[in-house]
Amino acid sequence: MTSEQALSISLGLQGPCVIARLTGDFDFGSAAEVRDRVTKALDLTQPPMLVIDMQAVSVCDSSGLSVLVYLHKAVTASGGRLLLAGLNGRCKHLFAITALDKFFDIRTTAELAIAELSADGNSPPFTG
């Protein structure tokens, strides 16, 4: 027996990063809302720097994965970066068996991801 947990989305801005913290079931019922709300939030930073914290995601299905791929493509097409953070056991296993752990940049915690993108955002645009 499974228990469904409605997804909540917390969006914030920390330095040059948009932070999306997801809690609950990231599935068909919540995927469109995540896509729409996070896409709108990407306008807050240019280029977009996005951290999606999935530490409190209990379930992620193919709809959730599809949204993550969509967001990754949108962010990288705009010259930005997307980091996933905090994948737990079930989600981590799903990413491994679908080989999406090779496609996405994944960090163990949102704090590490934010620090990395903040350092990228503070670096000069050209070196040399």
Dihedral angle of Cα 111, 117, 123, 126, to the nearest 10 degrees: 160
For residue 105, list its beta bridge partners: 83
Instruction: Write the pLDDT tens digit of every residue in 29-83.
Output: 999 999 999 999 999 999 999 999 999 999 999 999 999 999 999 999 999 999 9
pLDDT at position 122 is 54
**Secondary structure of the chain: what % helix, strand, coil (to 5)?**
45, 30, 25
- Tell me the torsion sign for CA atoms 86, 92, 94, 99: positive
Mean pLDDT for the chain?
Answer: 90
- Confidence at 121, pLDDT banded by 50, 70, 90: low
Mean pLDDT of 101-116: 96
CATH number, span 8-110: 3.30.750.24
**C-alpha 22: how far from its chain's center?**
9
Instruction: Check pLDDT > 50 for residue 101.
Output: yes
- Confidence at 5, pLDDT banded by 50, 70, 90: confident
